[in-house]
Amino acid sequence: MSRFQIRTKLRSACSQAKYVALNTLAMRQTDTCQESFRKSISRATLNFLPTYFQNKYTRRATVIGLGTASAVLALGTLSPSASFAATIVGTELVLSVDVSGSITSSEFNLQRKGYANAFRNPTIQNQIAALPGGLAATLSYWSTNAVQSVPWTLISDAASANKFADAIEAVSRPSSGNTGIANAITFAQNLLDSNDFVGNKRIIDVSGDGRENVKSDTALRAARDNAVNAGIIINGLPILGSSANLDTYYKDNVIGGSDSFVIAANNFSTFGDAVAQKIGREVAPPPNPVPEPLTILGSLAAGSFGVALRRKYKQTPKDTTKA
């Protein structure tokens, strides 16, 4: 099993501890640098990783220790020095929108209107308001390559959601090249890695009406897997009609990550309804109730026990007589 595979499996173990920390923080800002935060979690993964998980006790210590490291980092108690203050949000969302040559001007306007209307939808606005910390969102148009067309925006209520919708409608079409989904995913991942937010979930929302034709499908899957291994969820909104079985293609080559999904639009006329359904699902508040503070103390205590086990493991000489 590779380091990336192990890290991916352990991310799910630490997600609950991170959720506890983010909610307990209650939208209070911390001076934690986002990039350092994520790198620290990666380092914690490797530091808590006994060679080959040699027994069930060290496996348990690894999972508990990593979860606690994530919680402590999210609370800022191990804050690294930062050149800027990262904003804690519930979700980071990149809207990655196809503007390749197969999309006409009228179809582009339907796409743009669909995204704008989704953020003016009262139900979606209420969902965003219920997210701990709100939503950080940006919009990227792509064809052969991708560009960031609407900057990162913190959305926490109806007013900020309406402002984001206005920004979407104000941006013109940047290009009309080929269909570079792989480049779009890589660009969206860079947007997530370089922004000023720390979210409990990081999502790339890819919509388009065709298959990859800038790179190979193998390169597309590699771009997807690279994002998923970094803890990013990729959801798909294929627009059916011009490419046969495009929904299946998106399932096989585009989407990935925990609870990822595809919602297809039958055509551009129904795109707005599909977008509203998709974004509503992505910004839905977490179903779990906010745990009591005692839960955090228990997690930290368990983490200390995990650290102790790890130290004990490191101090124990390896039995070289066994294969």
Give the containing element (helix H, strand E) for 203. Answer: strand 197-208
pLDDT of the residue at 317: 45
Could you tell me what percent of the chain has a pLDDT over 90? 59
Mean pLDDT of 236-245: 91
Tokens 């992505």 correspond to 282
- What CATH number has the domain bearing residue 234? 3.40.50.410
231 pLDDT above the threshold of 60: yes
pLDDT of the residue at 243: 83
95 and 216 inside one domain:
yes
Distance CA 127, CA 285 (A): 6
Q: What is the mean pLDDT of the chain?
A: 77
Tens of pLDDT, residues 86-139: 899 999 999 999 999 999 999 999 999 999 999 999 999 999 999 999 999 999
Residue 104 lies in a domain: yes
How sure is the predictor about 293, in pLDDT bands with cuts at 50, 70 and 90? very low
315: three-class secondary structure by DSSP? helix
- How many structural domains is the chain composed of? 2
pLDDT of the residue at 287: 72
74 and 193 inside one domain:
no
Domain with 229, as residue range(s), is: 87-282
For residue 156, what are its two tokens? 């926490």
64 pLDDT above the threshold of 50: no
Tens of pLDDT, residues 176-215: 899 999 999 999 999 999 999 999 999 999 999 999 999 9
Tokens 């930062």 correspond to 82
Q: Which residue has the higher pLDDT, 84 or 222?
A: 222
How sure is the predictor about 157, in pLDDT bands with cuts at 50, 70 and 90? very high
67 and 77 inside one domain:
yes
137 and 273 inside one domain:
yes
If you write DSSP's letter for every residue of 237-249 in order, what string do you get?
A: EEB-SSSTTHHHH
Residue 321 lies in a domain: no
46 pLDDT above the threshold of 60: no
How sure is the predictor about 286, in pLDDT bands with cuts at 50, 70 and 90? confident
14 and 162 inside one domain:
no
If you write DSSP's letter for every residue of 243-299 in order, what string do you get?
A: STTHHHHHHHHT-BSTT--B--BSSGGGHHHHHHHHHHHHSPPPSSPPPPHHHHHHH
Which residues are within 8 A (CB) of 21 and not within 5 positions of it... i.e. 6 or more apart?
A: 70, 71, 72, 74, 75, 296
Residue 117 lies in a domain: yes
78 and 28 inside one domain:
yes
Tens of pLDDT, residues 1-10: 444 434 444 4
Do residues 186 and 226 make contact, with C-beta atoms less than 8 angstroms apart? yes
Q: Which residue has the higher pLDDT, 307 or 276?
A: 276
40 pLDDT above the threshold of 80: no
Mean pLDDT of 237-264: 95
How sure is the predictor about 285, in pLDDT bands with cuts at 50, 70 and 90? confident
128 and 257 inside one domain:
yes
pLDDT of the residue at 143: 97
How sure is the predictor about 316, in pLDDT bands with cuts at 50, 70 and 90? very low
